[in-house]
Chain A
Amino acid sequence: MTYQPQADFGTPASRSDEQVTLTIDGREVTVPAGTSVMRAASEQGTSIPKLCATDSLASFGSCRLCLVEIEGRRGTPASCTTPVEPGMVVKTQTPHLAKLRKGVMELYISDHPLDCLTCAANGDCELQDQAGAVGLRDVRYAADATHLGQTKDHSNPYFDFDPSKCIVCSRCVRACDEVQGTLALTVQGRGFGSKISAGLSSDNFLGSECVSCGACVQACPTATLVEKKVVEIGTPERSVVTTCAYCGVGCTFRAEMRGEQLVRMVPWKDGKANRGHSCVKGRFAWGYAQHQDRILKPMIRASIDQPWREVEWDEAFAYAASELKRISAKYGKHALGGITSSRCTNEETFLVQKLVRAGFGNNNVDTCARVCHSPTGYGLKTTFGTSAGTQDFDSVEDSDVILVIGANPTDGHPVFASRMKKRLRQGAKLIVIDPRRTDLVRSPHIEAQHHLALRPGTNVAVLTAIAHTIVTEGLVDEAFVRERCDWDEYREWADFVSQARNSPEMLEPVTQVPAAELRAAARLYATGGNGAIYYGLGVTEHSQGSSTVMAIANLAMATGNIGRRGVGVNPLRGQNNVQGACDMGSFPHELSGYRHISDGETRRLFEGEWGVPLDPEPGLRIPNMLDAATDGVFKALYVQGEDILQSDPNTKHVAAGLAAMECVIVHDLFLNETANYAHIFLPGSTFLEKNGTFTNAERRIQPVRKVMTPLNGLEDWEVTQELARAMGLDWNYAHPSEIMDEIARLTPSFKGVSFDRLDQEGSLQWPVNDAAPDGSPIMHIDGFVRGKGKFVVTDYVPTDEKTGPRFPLLLTTGRILSQYNVGAQTRRTDNVLWHEEDLLEIHPVDAEDRGIKDGDWVKLASRAGETTLRATVTERVAPGVVYTTFHHPLTQANVVTTDYSDWATNCPEYKVTAVQISPSNGPTDWQEDYEAQARRSRRIAEAEAAE
Chain B
Amino acid sequence: MSSTLDNLVRMANQIAANLQHEPDPAAATAEHIHLFWDPRMKRMIFDHDGTGLSPDAAKAIAALKASA
Contacts and interface: CB of A to CB of B under 8 A. Distances in A.
A596 B38 contact: no
Interface string B25-67: 0000000100111111100000000000000000000000000
A624 B44 CA distance: 12
A547 B38 CA distance: 22
A633 B41 CA distance: 12
Given A797-B17, A903-B11, 6 more contacts: A334-B38, A543-B14, A588-B38, A617-B38, A618-B36, A904-B18
B35 to A, nearest CB: 6
A628 B21 contact: no
Contacts, number: 61
A795 interface: yes
B3 to A, nearest CB: 7
Interface residues of B, number: 20
Interface in A897-940: 899, 901, 903-906
Contacts of A797: 14, 17-18
Contact of A633 (B10, B32, B40): B40
Contact of A589 (B3, B7, B36, B41): B36
A795 B20 contact: yes
Interface residues of A, number: 34
A620 interface: yes
A620 B38 contact: yes
A655 to B, nearest CB: 14
Enumerate the 7 nearest inter-chain pairs by beta-carbon distance, A residue then B residue, closest first.
Answer: A793-B21, A903-B14, A627-B4, A903-B18, A620-B38, A797-B17, A617-B39
A419 B25 CA distance: 43
Interface string A620-635: 1001100110110100
A229 B17 CA distance: 57
A496 B21 contact: yes
A364 interface: yes
**Interface of chain B, main secondary structure:** helix
Interface in A700-739: none
Contacts of A627: 3-4, 7
Contacts of B3: 627, 630
B59 to A, nearest CB: 17
Interface in A180-232: none
Nearest to B44: A631
A470 to B, nearest CB: 19
A598 interface: yes
A888 to B, nearest CB: 28
A797 B56 CA distance: 15
A467 to B, nearest CB: 14
A897 to B, nearest CB: 15
B41 A596 contact: no
Contact of B38 (A364, A546, A793): A364
8 contacts: A334-B39, A492-B21, A496-B21, A543-B14, A589-B35, A633-B40, A903-B15, A903-B18
Interface string A543-556: 11011000000000
Nearest to A792: B21
Contacts of B38: 334, 363-364, 588, 617-620, 624
B4 A903 contact: no
A906 B15 CA distance: 11
Given A544-B18, A631-B2, A906 B40 contact: no
Interface in A795-833: 795, 797, 800
A630 B2 CA distance: 10
Contacts of A619: 38
A324 B10 CA distance: 32
Given A589-B35, A800-B10, A903-B15, A628 B20 contact: no
